[in-house]
A and B are shown apart, each in its own frame.
Chain A
Amino acid sequence: MSLFELAWKSISGYAFRSSVVALCAFLVAAFALFTTLVMRGAENSLRLAIDRLGADIVVVPEGAEAKVESALLMGIPARLWMPQEKMEKISTIDGVDTVSPQLYLATLTGASCCSVSDMFMIAYDPQTDFTVQPWLQRTIGGGLRLGEVVGGSYISATEGKQNIRVYGYLVTLKSNLEPTGTGLDQSMFLTFDTAYDIARKSGSQAESPLVIPPGSISAAMVKVQPGSDPREVAVRIMQSVPGVTPIESTNLFQSYRKQMTSLLKSILVILGLTWGLCVVLIGLVFSMAANERRKELGVIRAMGAGRRYVFQSLLAEASILAFFGGLSGIILAVAAVYLFRHLIMASMEIPFLLPSPVSLLLYIGGGLALALFSVNLAALFPAYKISRQEPALAMRE
């Protein structure tokens, strides 16, 4: 019978006490992993969304920053316009390498002429675009033709195998983008030509026409020249072009970042309190258990177990309980995040991207390590104290 077998049998023999310790490990691991997965998922999602946009600076109409963020991050359709001349002015600013316009459109809500309701659509100009086209080149080997679209990861054909009806116009879904966990996953990308073609035909084909104000754009994506500081370029745009707001990509989604930071702070406080309470509770349970088992441990020492053996066997019990309690907590946290991620995104108003298998394994390892550390930390003092006690004293009433 090994030390771990003895510890296992002792755990089975004191089921209630063992359950309390395992439950604490469960809570610590579950809460920590759930929080980590959600917060890291949101962070990764934001980072990917910024990468996907691929611009150093996004220029939007003044006062429309929040709308653009909501559209890109949560897929809430935005309709905003600024004169195209703004873009031309921006392109002349020192440090600007390329400027590409985008149109932010949306399908109708609950209309029979649209097979998807209230979907965010981003139209780009193939002549100048440097954000969508490089990806298209890599994946489908070319650009989009008239009537073709690419969708976010959640977009699927609703008419036949490849088609989606938008304003009574059948567009062909050429491919899907990799998931980002943001509103971009529920958005459709199309060329200016397709957007204008839909707008032109929507007058006769749709319940309500798609209106694109002539000479207007929704946003301008800016790439700065190599060696230029995006911050300085953004300041120059602000000073030279009235009525627009340049947002550096690193500053994009600031309101969401602030929301996430405050959420993270609250969660960390709760996590810290839970962890502290669990460690104290485990410590108390172990102290009580060690006291209750004084005689038993005294007998084991009298039979020839050294202090180290007693200490190790108590920590082995703690480790086994931490492992199984922590593992259960981890399984629950992972299952909850996978099953309820949409609900979590909606209720917390944050984007979310599932971690890669390697990251998930690392998080799981971290969760288990935290459970093991917490339980062993709590058990350390009672185990040390009882192992140092004289066997004769331990066996006395």
Chain B
Amino acid sequence: MICVNDVTKIYPLAKGSSVTAVDRASLEIHPGDFTIVVGRSGSGKTTLLNLLAGLTRPTSGNVTVDGTNLWTLTDDQQSRLRNQTLGFVFQFPSLLPYLTVFENLILPTCLQPKPSQNGVRERASECLQKVELYDKREVYPRQLSAGQQQRVVIARSLMNQPKILLADEPTSNLDEKTELEIMDLFANLHASMGVTIVMVTHTQQLISYSNHAVTMAAGKIINDARR
């Protein structure tokens, strides 16, 4: 489903220096996988996730999704692929503060040139019910706790019924209890919807939720294990 082939990502820094965030990484994500990428801060996990999603261009190597090299696509094609195939959960608060929970939820369905609005309201209600926040649909993000906001983000990521869910340290800003709730939510979604999940975290213990664990250090994949 997703293949990372010998990918390197180098960020140029000031005064001609550079930093290699991902160094010749190769990885395969299969349909239905619950992949967790672990590593310390600065190990290149987030960059790897961004490369998988086409959010940044690799310096060398390539990334294919369902056999299509992401960087042979035009910007419009890439955007459509992200919109229809991928769902995102970010580490930072990513709800738009000036939209209500409901409006945030339907946002991904409005971003393409000719969005289809068929059944959008029903699907949004369904997604909110999945994360148990249907009664908060008319409130603004600032009126929600951090955990509730993250659940809304998860609901939003499901709006376009993506095949793959990409999550970048989705629990790092949450307390332990809320972290467990969110991880259980991911596990349920994986089990009930069969969605492929790729999650980046620095918490080793969360590997227990996955069937595929990838460990990174200094930009390299040092371990790639399946259970």
* Interface residue from B50, B79, B88, B99 paired with A305 (Cβ < 8 Å): B79
Does the CB pair B82–A302 fall under 8 Å?
yes
B90 at the interface (CB under 8 A from A): yes
- In the assembled complex, the Cα of A304 lies from the Cα of B84 at a distance in Å of 8
What residue of chain A has the Cβ atom nearest to residue B96's Cβ?
A296
Q: Mark A94-121, 1 if CB is under 8 A from B, else 0.
A: 0000000000000000000000000000
Q: A299-B90, A301-B79, A304-B83 are in contact. Are A391 and B55 (CB under 8 A)?
A: yes
Does the CB pair A304–B82 fall under 8 Å?
yes
Which of B47, B55, B76 neighbours the largest number of chain A CB atoms within 10 Å of its CB? B55
Minimum C-beta distance from A372 to chain B (A):
23
* Interface residue from B56, B92, B103, B160 paired with A1 (Cβ < 8 Å): B103
Does the CB pair B88–A302 fall under 8 Å?
yes
Does the CB pair B97–A308 fall under 8 Å?
no
Minimum C-beta distance from A13 to chain B (A):
2
- In the assembled complex, the Cα of A12 lies from the Cα of B140 at a distance in Å of 13
- In the assembled complex, the Cα of A14 lies from the Cα of B96 at a distance in Å of 12
Does the CB pair A306–B75 fall under 8 Å?
yes
What residue of chain A has the Cβ atom nearest to residue B103's Cβ?
A1
Minimum C-beta distance from A245 to chain B (A):
70
Q: A13-B98, A303-B108 are in contact. Are A392 and B56 (CB under 8 A)?
A: yes
User: Which 5 interchain pairs have the tightest Cβ spacing?
Assistant: A304-B83, A13-B98, A392-B56, A392-B50, A306-B79
Q: B182 contacts which chain A residues (CB < 8 A)?
A: none
Q: A309 contacts which chain B residues (CB < 8 A)?
A: 79, 111, 113
A-B contact count (CB 8 A): 80
Q: A13-B98, A391-B55, A393-B56 are in contact. Are A300 and B111 (CB under 8 A)?
A: yes
Minimum C-beta distance from B59 to chain A (A):
12
**Additional pairs, 10, CB under 8 Å, beyond known A299-B88, A392-B50, A392-B55:** A6-B110, A14-B98, A299-B94, A300-B107, A303-B108, A304-B83, A304-B112, A306-B76, A391-B55, A393-B56
Q: B113 contacts which chain A residues (CB < 8 A)?
A: 309
CB proximity to A under 8 Å, residues B114-146: none
- In the assembled complex, the Cα of A1 lies from the Cα of B110 at a distance in Å of 6
A228 at the interface (CB under 8 A from B): no
What residue of chain B has the Cβ atom nearest to residue A296's Cβ?
B96
B80 at the interface (CB under 8 A from A): yes
Minimum C-beta distance from B23 to chain A (A):
17
Does the CB pair A9–B103 fall under 8 Å?
yes
- In the assembled complex, the Cα of A6 lies from the Cα of B99 at a distance in Å of 9
Q: Mark B212-227, 1 if CB is under 8 A from A, else 0.
A: 0000000000000000
What is the total number of residues of chain A having a CB less than 8 Å from a CB of chain B? Answer: 28
A residues apposed to B, CB below 8 Å: 1-3, 6, 9-10, 12-14, 295-296, 298-309, 390-393, 395
Does the CB pair A308–B76 fall under 8 Å?
yes
Q: What are 12 A-B contacts defined by CB distance under 8 Å?
A: A300-B107, A301-B79, A302-B55, A303-B82, A304-B84, A304-B108, A304-B112, A305-B111, A306-B76, A309-B113, A390-B56, A391-B50
- In the assembled complex, the Cα of A383 lies from the Cα of B108 at a distance in Å of 21
Q: A9-B103, A12-B98 are in contact. Are A304 and B53 (CB under 8 A)?
A: no
What residue of chain B has the Cβ atom nearest to residue A313's Cβ?
B111
CB proximity to A under 8 Å, residues B59-116: 75-76, 78-80, 82-84, 88, 90, 92, 94, 96-99, 103, 106-108, 110-113
- In the assembled complex, the Cα of A281 lies from the Cα of B138 at a distance in Å of 36
What residue of chain A has the Cβ atom nearest to residue B168's Cβ?
A395
- In the assembled complex, the Cα of A304 lies from the Cα of B157 at a distance in Å of 11
Does the CB pair A304–B79 fall under 8 Å?
yes
B190 at the interface (CB under 8 A from A): no
B57 at the interface (CB under 8 A from A): yes
- In the assembled complex, the Cα of A299 lies from the Cα of B152 at a distance in Å of 14
What is the total number of residues of chain B having a CB less than 8 Å from a CB of chain A? Answer: 32
Minimum C-beta distance from A16 to chain B (A):
13
B residues apposed to A, CB below 8 Å: 47, 50, 53, 55-57, 75-76, 78-80, 82-84, 88, 90, 92, 94, 96-99, 103, 106-108, 110-113, 156, 160
Q: Is the interface of A mostly helix, strand, loop or mixed?
A: helix
Minimum C-beta distance from A305 to chain B (A):
4
What residue of chain B has the Cβ atom nearest to residue A304's Cβ?
B83
Q: B108 contacts which chain A residues (CB < 8 A)?
A: 303-304
- In the assembled complex, the Cα of A392 lies from the Cα of B97 at a distance in Å of 20
Minimum C-beta distance from B149 to chain A (A):
13
- In the assembled complex, the Cα of A301 lies from the Cα of B82 at a distance in Å of 9
Q: B84 contacts which chain A residues (CB < 8 A)?
A: 304
Minimum C-beta distance from B213 to chain A (A):
23
* Interface residue from B75, B103, B107 paired with A303 (Cβ < 8 Å): B107
- In the assembled complex, the Cα of A322 lies from the Cα of B160 at a distance in Å of 34
* Interface residue from A2, A298, A301, A308 paired with B110 (Cβ < 8 Å): A2
- In the assembled complex, the Cα of A212 lies from the Cα of B53 at a distance in Å of 96
Q: B83 contacts which chain A residues (CB < 8 A)?
A: 303-305
* Interface residue from B53, B80, B103 paired with A302 (Cβ < 8 Å): B53
Q: B106 contacts which chain A residues (CB < 8 A)?
A: 1
Q: B103 contacts which chain A residues (CB < 8 A)?
A: 1, 9
Q: B112 contacts which chain A residues (CB < 8 A)?
A: 304
Q: B82 contacts which chain A residues (CB < 8 A)?
A: 302-304
Does the CB pair B47–A392 fall under 8 Å?
yes
Does the CB pair B57–A304 fall under 8 Å?
no
Minimum C-beta distance from A309 to chain B (A):
6
Minimum C-beta distance from A195 to chain B (A):
74
Does the CB pair A304–B111 fall under 8 Å?
yes
What residue of chain A has the Cβ atom nearest to residue B98's Cβ?
A13
- In the assembled complex, the Cα of A143 lies from the Cα of B112 at a distance in Å of 74
Q: A302-B82, A304-B82, A304-B111 are in contact. Are A13 and B88 (CB under 8 A)?
A: no
Q: A304-B111, A395-B90 are in contact. Are A390 and B55 (CB under 8 A)?
A: yes
